[in-house]
Amino acid sequence: NAGVTQTPKFQVLKTGQSMTLQCAQDMNHNSMYWYRQDPGMGLRLIYYSASEGTTDKGEVPNGYNVSRLNKREFSLRLESAAPSQTSVYFCASSAGTGPHSPLHFGNGTRLTVT
Amino acid sequence: QKEVEQNSGPLSVPEGAIASLNCTYSDRGSQSFFWYRQYSGKSPELIMFIYSNGDKEDGRFTAQLNKASQYVSLLIRDSQPSDSATYLCAVPPYASGGSYIPTFGRGTSLIVHP
C-alpha cells in the first residue's frame, strides 16, 4: 500500500520555467491538499480539493494552479517559477474535510528555483 | 498573528525525562486537534489526535486539551533520543462550505540528549 506518492522528489528550475508536481493517493480518499514548508514558517496551505471536481485556495495560492484530475490525482503547477517558490512541497490526503479527518502526507518534493 | 502558535524551541530534555510541548489556537469553534511528528528531511506523520477536553493517552504520549483556555499540549514520557524531531500542532478551523482544513503551527523542535 503506497499511500500518497509524489513526483519528482527533487527539482531545480530556473526563474521563469514552468513545471507540474504530481501527487496520487491509493487510499480512496476524497480530499487532497498541497502545502509548502519553509524554514521557520511551518506548513502553509496552497490549495486543497475537498472532493473530486472541486478546488479551493488556501493561505498562499499566488503563483500556483492546481488540477484535481480524478479522485486519485491532484497536481500542482508553477507557471513561471520564482526564487520565492523555493521550498519543500507536500501533498496530503484525507478521507474528508470533516473535523476529525487526519492528513496522510507524501514524501515531499524539494524544489529549488535559481 | 498565526491561528496556531507553538514555541519553535529547540526544547532540550535529557533521556528519560518528560517533554512537554504546547500549542495555542485562536478559533474557538475548532473541534479537533492533531499532533504530527516530523523527522529531519521526512514528511509529517500523525501521532496523536484529541477532540474532548481532558487527557488522552497512547503509550508514552499524552495529549491534553483545554478548550476554555484554547491550548493543547503533548507530553512525551520517558523521552528517548529517537523522539528527537519537530512536533507540529494542527488545528482545523471551520472553513466555507462545511470544511475543516488543518492549519499548522510552526512546529517545536525537540532534542533528547543521552
Q: At which residue does the C-alpha cell 500542482 appear?
A: A76
- Cβ distance B100 to A98 less than 8 Å, yes or no, reads yes
Residue with cell 528517548: B80
Could you list the beta-strand ranges (E) of A19-108. Answer: 19-25, 31-38, 42-49, 56-57, 64-68, 74-78, 87-94, 104-105
How far, in Å, CA of A9 to CA of A31, rounded?
Answer: 22
Q: What is the dihedral of CA B71, B61, B35, B75, to 10 degrees?
A: 40
CB contact under 8 A, B46 and A58: no
**pLDDT for the residue A98:** 84
Using an 8 Å CB-CB cutoff, list chain A residues near B32: 99-100
DSSP state of B81: G
Q: Contacts of residue A48 in chain B, CB cutoff 8 Å?
A: 99, 101
Which of A61-70, B9-18, B98-107 comes out lowest in average pLDDT? B98-107
pLDDT, residue A9, reads 97
And the C-alpha cell for A86?
523555493
| Closest chain B residue by Cα to residue A100 | B32
Please give the grid coordinates belonging to residue B47: 501521532
Min mean pLDDT across A97-101, A105-109, B73-77 is at: A97-101
